[in-house]
Amino acid sequence: MTLATNLPTTQTRSTAATFTGLKCKECGADYEAKAIHVCEYCFGPLEVVYDYSALRRTVTRESIQAGPNSIWRYRAFLPVASDNPIDVGTGMTPLVKANRLARRLGLKNLYIKNDAVNMPTLSFKDRVVSVALTRARELGFTTVSCASTGNLANSTAAIAAYAGLECCVFIPSDLEAGKVLGTLIYGPTVIAVHGNYDQVNRLCSEVANTHGWGFVNINLRPYYSEGSKTLGYEVAEQLGWQLPDHIVAPLASGSLFTKIHKGFQEFIKVGLVDEKPVRFSGAQAEGCSPIAQAYRDNQDFITPVKPRTIAKSIAIGNPADGVYALEIARKTNGNIESVNDQEIIDGIKLLAETEGIFTETAGGTTVAVLKKLVEAGKINPDETTVVYITGNGLKTQEAVQGYIGEPLTIEPKLEAFERALERAQTLGRLDWQPVTV
């Protein structure tokens, strides 16, 4: 395989584009929709700008419903120009009414947005990568890349394979086996760096400058991050074109959290849903909780930390969108909480045992924070609450190894089974308790 050093030359333009360019989130400076992500004047992050009055005129609930059963039904709200985006069936994951988990926690209207079964690589990252690689192709990149905590590498490698793009991904060298294997299988170049995500990310910024590759979460970040808005759109549509009262989502860089908020705001702006206040609560792992710490300390800046947690997929010590996430949690009357590694494991088990959903450590963190917020009286039992489960537990098996019991191993004889059954019963297994043998 060849990883060409190529600076993109073509600029695809299409009448189908609904976005008009990029804008600095801090100083408001305008930019062309190229592969850039920081403002030249103030170093603020760049964000995609849309023509909302045109969207208001052309997009209806019906036109969305007539679209594909994937994130591309919201194409008008995504920063791509071509009429044939890379569609690997990403999105439109189930919104599950979680009655058993709700009862356990003392809630009445709890939903799970289940991206543990998102396609093709079982995490929400397939959304952002589908958008980023579509835009990468439009901008003329032939090699794509990323700095990843695991899921992003899976997703970039898989979707690059589908799209026929060359791929080189960067990961910290201590990732879970399932995340590494789940990247290598697609045949990209995988660079495992001795260092944490923040160090990987810094290295990648340098590579992006020297090799001219499309880094989905660096020079393509303005496009990439827009893909997370679909987590907001889908929930609104799946609730019957209504917004929930409260959402709980994990925070790594904080991007996903801020984009769910942007998605809801856009649907209000173009008249697809009625305006309503939605509370935004964020979840972090105690071993990497710079945003939760700033929230608790009532500060409006983030002090970077060195991650130490089993929740590797959300272990970002210097979160790029941390201040924006803080702002949203505060202004929506939400919360940001953190939980320790044992609570994360318990959260994974609780979700599995009540709802039949096996999530990874990020999902365990989110469920554990949900529980903590309910116990602290910070979620009203009547609120329609949506919990975002962003990744699949089969990828982080080592996190729960040793905490879930063992099978009862027997000879292939009926009497052996009867003895095992007796043993299982004497273990006093209640409906919701794990079997520990």
Ligand X SMILES: *Cc1c(COP(=O)(O)O)cnc(C)c1O
Q: Which residues are at the interface with ligand X (CB under 6 A)?
A: 123, 125, 151, 250-257, 313-314, 360, 362, 390-391
The nearest distance, CB 390 to ligand X, in angstroms, is: 3
- Give buried/exposed letters for 78-98 (b at 16+ CB in 10 A, else e): bbbbbeebbbbebbbbebbeb
The nearest distance, CB 429 to ligand X, in angstroms, is: 31
Residue with Cβ nearer ligand X (222 or 254): 254
Residue with Cβ nearer ligand X (109 or 148): 148
By the 8 A CB rule, do 90 and 71 touch? yes
The nearest distance, CB 74 to ligand X, in angstroms, is: 18
By the 8 A CB rule, do 287 and 221 touch? no
Phi-psi region of 28 (alpha: psi -120 to 50; beta: other; left: phi over 0): left
The nearest distance, CB 186 to ligand X, in angstroms, is: 17
DSSP assigned state of 44: P
The rounded distance, in Å, linking the Cα atoms of 99 and 104 is 9
The nearest distance, CB 336 to ligand X, in angstroms, is: 12
Residue with Cβ nearer ligand X (171 or 362): 362
Residue with Cβ nearer ligand X (252 or 270): 252
The nearest distance, CB 259 to ligand X, in angstroms, is: 7
The rounded distance, in Å, linking the Cα atoms of 277 and 333 is 9
Residue with Cβ nearer ligand X (156 or 385): 156
The rounded distance, in Å, linking the Cα atoms of 397 and 392 is 10
The rounded distance, in Å, linking the Cα atoms of 348 and 328 is 26
CA 76, chain centre distance (Å): 21
* Strands 19-24 and 46-50, bridge-based pairing: antiparallel
Residue with Cβ nearer ligand X (39 or 389): 389
Residue with Cβ nearer ligand X (55 or 251): 251
Q: Tell me: cis bond preceding 381? Omega within 30 of 0 counts.
A: no
The rounded distance, in Å, linking the Cα atoms of 23 and 328 is 20
* Tokens read off for 405: 């019991």
The nearest distance, CB 180 to ligand X, in angstroms, is: 14
Residue with Cβ nearer ligand X (81 or 215): 215
Around 247, how many Cα atoms within 13 Å sit in the side-chain half-sphere?
A: 29
The nearest distance, CB 215 to ligand X, in angstroms, is: 14
Length of the chain: 437
Residue with Cβ nearer ligand X (18 or 390): 390
The nearest distance, CB 247 to ligand X, in angstroms, is: 13
Residue with Cβ nearer ligand X (23 or 125): 125
DSSP assigned state of 255: H
Q: How far is CA 388 from CA 172, 199, 324, in A?
A: 25, 28, 19
Phi first, then psi: give them for residue 49, nearest 5 degrees.
-110, 135
**First and final CA of the chain: distance in angstroms?**
49
DSSP assigned state of 434: P
The nearest distance, CB 7 to ligand X, in angstroms, is: 27
